Chains A and B, each alone.
Chain A
Amino acid sequence: MAKELLKGNVAFAEAAIRAGCEAYFGYPITPQTEALEHMAKRMPELGRVFLQAESEVAAINMVYGAACAGVRVMSSSSSPGVSLMMEGLSYIAGSEVPAVLVDIMRGGPGLGNIAPSQGDYNQIVKGGGHGDYHPVVLAPASVQELIDFTVEAFDIAEKYLCIVIILADGSLGQMMEPAELPEMKKVRSVKERPNWALTGARDRDPNIITSIYMDPLVEEELNRRLMAKQAKIEANEVRFRELMLDDAEIAVIAFGTSGRVAQSAVKTAREEGIRVGLLRPISLYPYPYERVRQIAGKVKEILVVEMNSGQMLGDVRIGNEGRVPISFYGRQGGVIPLPDEVLEEIRKIQSRINASE
């Protein structure tokens, strides 16, 4: 397919449709509403399910219901709406049904604003809802990645019977870029739905989907099953992109939009002769700890750039295991750091390195 100029929110909605998403439940919230509007138009055209729920609480529970029926289902929202979904997400995780969610993050806490932010990192990456679970979290940095990761999200969710969350921010939802959409995939027939799905107990024993196990030993079995699944996910699903790290003395680590901003700064710094490279984690869970560890063994200092107060910083520290100093540059409140600000941080680190030599 040829490239089209696509707005991020429209792009991921259409990508989901082409990946075989049969049902979408959502609630309007800026800056992701174009996705809901696209679904409202397209899903009925295709004979699929679109429903504007009364709240994000209801939307995620509709997703839960449809997921129990074994169909590809998703929702999308933005930070305050995603907070309301945490209860449902925990139940979906505990019931081990597949579901996809896109969080187009905005400034917070509280009502905050509608500008781009990465303030939901801890909430999304570390679990979010109550209990022991991890959604798989993918962080795109372009409209093309938003498309590609949304398609992949459905496959990962079904492979591991888990939640996959695309963690992007308002700028990715709102910006337009040339990107290529995938071919339209056929929707599964009812007969092709998985054998655990609730489709009516005809010629088989009833299927029960639940997340309550009153006996702690039985609940522990569920927790262990989830842990085993997470171990597989951690072994198979780590993703990242990197740039000019081979001979780098300074490594910048940033995800999503921050990663893109950092990329511009790294390129300019290279033109100035600074040996700096970029690691852009794509899977935030599972986090590329091993790659951070390797990089920390080679560089002299790490710079973490985020659009929050330093949430991924904790994960970089885990991967670094105390090897090299880590500095942090962040903008908060919906402010996108500009490339020249990041460049200035890189220069500061370079002069520290020069001074110590």
Chain B
Amino acid sequence: MQTEIIISGFGGQGVLFAGQLLSYAALEKDLHVTWFPSYGPEMRGGTAHCTVIISDDEIGSPVIRNPTAAIVMNLPSLDKYEPLVKTDGVLVVNTSLVDRDPEREDLQIELVPANEIAEELGDKRLANLVMLGALLNHLDVLSIDEVGASLKRHIPAHHRDLLQGNIKAMQRGTALAAGEKLAT
């Protein structure tokens, strides 16, 4: 069983870190995992994305065309990855920065105003974790508790004060996803 997740957005939105968090959690659960980043000459801005593959078996290619799930943090990412997600896969859209609705009808779609929620929580940098929380509600491979535990272990020392905020952000994302699902 293999799960492929693409997380995509502007540089600085924390997409690479969100992917690493999934990878740490997978490692700690003794699963096979690859984290494959886009890397470019820009330190800030531009587009950034990463592919995380989690499997109970040895992973071949660390890159794939059609992911099981995608988190898209901005419009260019939605345009790029919406057509690529596998049928019945998950698409988590940051509606704060996307001004159109997704067109696919064969996906589990989660619309998350991640920037607004993050600002409500007092730190707009938390948008990536809100999105991640929303995704985790749809994935069997890792639970929010498992990702929370790996966040505790791997949050950089200079961001340790943000730990509780990060966890809260993930919970908000998960709750939102669960709530919206109940509503439909």
Contacts and interface: CB of A to CB of B under 8 A. Distances in A.
In the complex, A touching B (Cβ < 8 A): yes
A75 interface: no
Contact of B61 (A114, A177, A178, A263): A263
Nearest to A31: B39
B34 A175 contact: yes
Interface stretch (B62-70, B88-96, B100-108): B62-70
Interface stretch (A201-209, A281-289, A335-343): A335-343
B40 A263 contact: no
Interface in B28-55: 32-37, 39-41
A340 B27 CA distance: 27
A31 to B, nearest CB: 6
Nearest to B34: A177
Given A178-B27, A178-B32, A171 B60 contact: no
Contacts of A262: 60
B27 A171 contact: no
Given A5-B20, A114-B39, A170-B39, A177 B33 contact: yes
Interface in A168-185: 170-171, 174-178
B81 interface: no
A266 B66 CA distance: 17
A355 B100 CA distance: 49
Interface residues of B, number: 20
Interface residues of A, number: 25
A152 B63 CA distance: 28
A178, A264, A265, A339 interface centre (most CB from chain B within 10 Å):
A178
Contact of A174 (B33, B39, B61, B66): B39
A150 interface: no
Nearest to A176: B35
Contacts of A308: none
Interface in A225-267: 257, 260-265, 267
Counting from the closest, the 10 A-B pairs by CB-CB distance are A264-B60, A263-B60, A176-B35, A264-B61, A261-B61, A178-B27, A175-B36, A339-B61, A338-B65, A5-B27
9 contacts: A30-B39, A114-B40, A178-B27, A178-B33, A257-B62, A261-B60, A265-B60, A265-B61, A340-B66
Given A177-B33, A178-B33, A338-B61, 17 more contacts: A114-B39, A170-B39, A171-B36, A171-B62, A174-B36, A175-B36, A175-B62, A176-B20, A177-B35, A261-B60, A261-B61, A264-B64, A265-B61, A338-B63, A338-B64, A338-B65, A340-B66
